[in-house]
A and B are shown apart, each in its own frame.
Chain A
């Protein structure tokens, strides 16, 4: 994303219904040709790598500090998480409850440090750096498994495997239902995707098959599931008890399936898969992403021990060396910070959220008329 430094010709002319002068830009992106920076372009490869490692180390450091938690999935799914949140997910960090946001569920809820790190980078006020440091502590907003009533940005409570995936089917059902009831030929007011990350454990649970069968039957084309294929579960390699052909099962259930064979560094593969998934309108899509659990940890990557225990200070050191991450715990490099949240200061009283496409300001008229459902639009808050 190129720097979305807000330089509208006259801020005062950008009004929203009920605007009170002075405005705050939380995230800006427009269709090509628009006045604002184009959001859909990914950052330079080097910046992406730094962002991904930021995510990894926020997770590693939080688990280490708590001496409890699950570092493996966050380390392995950081690339997927980065691409999804930074380049595809449509949301407003200042309003986690914006109606037409994309929904995201981490069905493998134990990997919640991945989600918290992403929410933090994205600028959700409910997940500050202090919240990350208070991971798994009494009274914190970052409990050991995601709780929707505790943390803004978390849609559903997960932890027991398979539940989140089934919740995601429900979220996608809601979108499709409301879209059918309320969208008009000339105005689309319900238009968002539901994304879910699930792992081997979720896949084994019967509830996931039940929900997947229904999602296929209902043709929930805006449901996109990522299967974190890391071949590891608590008791070891999945070869021990889980040797079915998952993609074939999903095809039998009426899903479209894609396989990203390199989920560790294949950023373009991930991007292409999500694009392809979004183009399939009549079926839900399962994207199998092959990753290394605990990616980056020289001695524990790819083992079940990195699934659910802190790395330990020695291994944290070794991982920092291995990934050339010289920073202290909980450090977010400036360029990553700047890139993801602009501006840093937020005024949150009495803001009004303007949903895209409907109430775009005059300055960005091109935005509202030329948009398809998958490109971005401006989201302005007036304070």
Chain B
């Protein structure tokens, strides 16, 4: 019933994934009862419409030959995925609870366990594995070792004949990145042309594509807006599966889950996927599983704020940054310029057991003095400071597209004789992992005059700004208008930062 399934199956059909075999446990029961209640569609018909081959095992309870035959047939269909509908009885064997929703998610209870043992002629005590069953299954140990040994021998031959490809495949298998890979990332300076971080992201992705053999990914029909095409590769399609640009179509949730599959297939496969930042709402389930299952998927999320302008509030993220800062094991990056974007990518690639989200701008941003790749690794760091004893008059902190606003405000305050520190808080999770000494060096306890500015929810900023500081942000939905107008009307301006500072 879940929509994500249709998204993924539509792609599997389109891609002709002939070695994907799905068993549909057709037991007519879900938690609320018989599927008659809410699920009466023709499932096989739907899968056929999606380009799948379909089979039906009518007796999944003890039709063993039927099951065998179906799997054999599915394996012989090489140009389409196969869906085998297997009609079973849920809780088969339980005389009173089989075929009811009660057996779906609750223990049988002692008397029903008794009754089931009697019903199936199973006189053994709990956890007993009969000898003949044990010995039958034990053949898998030598068999499995033999399978792998055969493969090792084959790979040794492969290494002899095709040493370069073997080395590449090996690095994908082990996850070991090529030496010096990070040097391929573009080196930005303040002289580099100003650009939206979504474009800088494309430059980073294309630089990495040359040196990271397992990098593969794409967008949910927004490649030309997310800027995620790898120019040196073609599209992964049914007839060109060796290519690395994956076209997911407007299927965000399916895309996220497919990337989890790619990431968990082999350590050296590094999938990235992209859409508008607001549409993380459509794939949050998969993102949480990325975090929980330690799948280092890279989520490239552009159009990250009111900065996208006229598309309006349905497209403008507000609560999204803080919602991902709240998600365990998820790295939420919001780079301000080229150096920080490169830094974010470096960390995203390094973190194979933590997924990363990069929130990127639609609008052009300047390259700022003081930003650095190393700073990004610390999560929050000082990019400018004219104080001398770790006691600036003001600390202004920000992320992404608002850092330039913080810098402007700092310049003004400095002109008036104040000492101001500007902190870029590109990744909260990494900052929180730093030593107390480091944190004190960035946010000294003694300095309470702190101001934050970000084009998003103010929730969460209090932890860095403190009770004596001021948070500037947006706690309501956005608006449909040109971006500069929205920034002004919503008070995300240097003037407001200055006014806030002076009020402290």
B249–A242 touching, CB < 8 Å: yes
Chain B residues within an 8 Å CB radius of A147: 312-314, 480
Report if A46 contacts B (CB, 8 A).
no
The one of A160, A243, A245 that contacts B282, using a Cβ cutoff of 8 Å: A160
The digit string for A249-261, where 1 denotes a CB below 8 A from any CB of B, is 1011110000000
Please give me the residue from chain B that is nearest to A248 by CB atom.
Answer: B49
Contact A138 B314 (CB under 8 A): no
Q: In the complex, which of the residues B2, B4, B278, B314 has the most CB atoms of chain A within 10 Å of its own CB atom?
A: B314
Partner of A243, one of B51, B221, B248, B482: B51
For the complex formed, measure the closest distance between the CB of B18 and the CB atoms of chain A, giving whole angstroms.
16
**B225 within 8 Å of A by Cβ?**
yes
Q: Which of B235, B237, B251 contacts A204 (CB 8 A)?
A: B251
Separation of A249 and B3 alpha carbons in the complex (Å): 13
Within 8 A of A (CB), among B362-410: none
Interface assignment of B309: CB less than 8 Å from any CB of chain A? yes
Task: Say whether, besides A205-B282, A242-B10, A217 and B41 are in contact (CB < 8 Å).
Answer: yes
Contact A201 B221 (CB under 8 A): yes
Q: Which A residue sits closest to B229, measured CB to CB? A: A235
Cβ of B248: which chain A residues have Cβ within 8 Å of it?
Answer: 241
A109 to B39, CA, bound (A): 29
Chain B residues within an 8 Å CB radius of A145: 311-315, 480
A52 at the interface (CB under 8 A from B): no
Confirm or deny: A346 has a beta carbon within 8 angstroms of a beta carbon on chain B.
no
When distances are taken between beta carbons in the complex, the residues of chain A under 8 Å from B11 are 241
A253→B3 contact, CB < 8 A: no
B312 touches A204 (CB 8 A): no
Query: Which residue from A137, A161, A214, A254 sits with its C-beta under 8 Å from B250?
Result: A161
User: CA A278 – CA B486 in complex, angstroms?
Assistant: 44
Bound-state CA distance A252–B482 (Å) is: 44
Pick the contact of B10: A159, A204, A234 (CB < 8 A).
A204
What mask results when residues 229 to 244 of chain B are scored 1 for a CB within 8 Å of chain A, else 0?
A: 0000001010000000
Question: By the criterion CB–CB under 8 Å, are B247 and A235 in contact?
Answer: yes
B343 close to A (CB within 8 Å): no
On whether A160 and B278 interact (CB within 8 A), knowing A145-B315, A210-B1, the answer reads: yes
Tell me whether B481 and A254 are in contact (CB under 8 A). no
Quick check: B6 and A248 within 8 Å, CB to CB? no
* Closest Cβ neighbor of B9 among chain A residues: A244
A143 at the binding interface (Cβ < 8 Å)? yes
Q: In the complex, how many residues of chain B place their beta carbon closer than 8 angstroms to a beta carbon of chain A?
A: 58
Most buried by A among B42, B249, B251: B249
Chain A residue numbers with a CB within 8 Å of B235 are 240
Quick check: A68 and B310 within 8 Å, CB to CB?
Answer: yes
Instruction: Tell me, in angstroms, the Cα distance from A254 to B49 when the chains sit together.
Output: 13
Pairwise interchain contact B42-A252, C-beta atoms closer than 8 A: yes
Given A138-B486, A205-B3, A242-B249, check contact A159 B315 (CB 8 Å): yes
A8 contacts chain B at the CB level, 8 A cutoff: no
Q: How far is the CB of B200 from chain A (nearest CB, A)?
A: 21
How many angstroms between the C-alpha atoms of A138 and B281 in the bound complex? 26
Is the C-beta of A222 less than 8 angstroms from some C-beta in chain B?
no
List the A residue with the shortest CB-CB distance to B222. A234
A244 and B312 in contact, given A138-B486, A249-B49 (Cβ under 8 angstroms): no
Report yes or no: A158 in contact with B314, Cβ–Cβ below 8 A.
yes
Q: Are B3 and A144 in contact (CB under 8 A)?
A: no
Q: Which of A143, A201, A209 has the most CB atoms of chain B within a 10 A radius of its CB?
A: A209
Contacts of B43 in A (CB 8 A): 252
Give the Cβ gap from A77 to chain B, nearest Cβ, in Å. Answer: 18
Q: With an 8 A cutoff between CB atoms, is B183 at the interface?
A: no
Question: A304 — which chain B residues lie within 8 A by C-beta?
Answer: 224
- Docked complex Cα distance between A207 and B6 (Å): 9
Q: What is the 8 Å Cβ interface bit string for chain B, positions 1-38, against chain A (1 contact, 0 not)?
A: 11111110011011000000000000000000000001
Complex: chain B residue closest to A216, CB-CB: B41
Which residues of chain A have C-beta atoms less than 8 A from B48's C-beta?
245, 248, 252
Q: Is A66 an interface residue (CB 8 A)?
A: yes
CB under 8 Å from chain B, chain A span 106-165: 109-110, 136-140, 143-145, 147, 157-162
Task: Select which of A139, A207, A240, A246 is within 8 A of B3 by beta carbon.
Answer: A207
Interface residues of A in 164-221 (CB under 8 A from B): 200-202, 204-210, 213-214, 216-217
Interface contact A206-B45, CB-CB below 8 Å: no
Residue A69 interfacial (CB < 8 Å): yes
Q: How far is the CA of A247 from the CA of B49 in the complex (A)?
A: 8
Interchain nearest-CB distance for A379 vs B (Å): 32
Is A233 interfacial (CB 8 A cutoff)? Answer: yes
New A-B pairs, 11, CB < 8 Å, besides A145-B315, A242-B14: A145-B312, A147-B312, A159-B314, A161-B250, A204-B10, A204-B249, A205-B251, A206-B254, A208-B3, A210-B1, A240-B235
Q: Which 7 A-B pairs have the closest CB atoms?
A: A206-B3, A159-B314, A252-B45, A143-B480, A248-B49, A241-B249, A138-B481
List, sorted by A's number, 18 A–B pairs whose CB atoms are closer than 8 Å: A137-B481, A138-B479, A159-B311, A204-B221, A206-B4, A214-B38, A217-B39, A217-B41, A233-B250, A240-B247, A244-B50, A245-B48, A247-B49, A248-B45, A248-B48, A249-B46, A251-B49, A252-B45
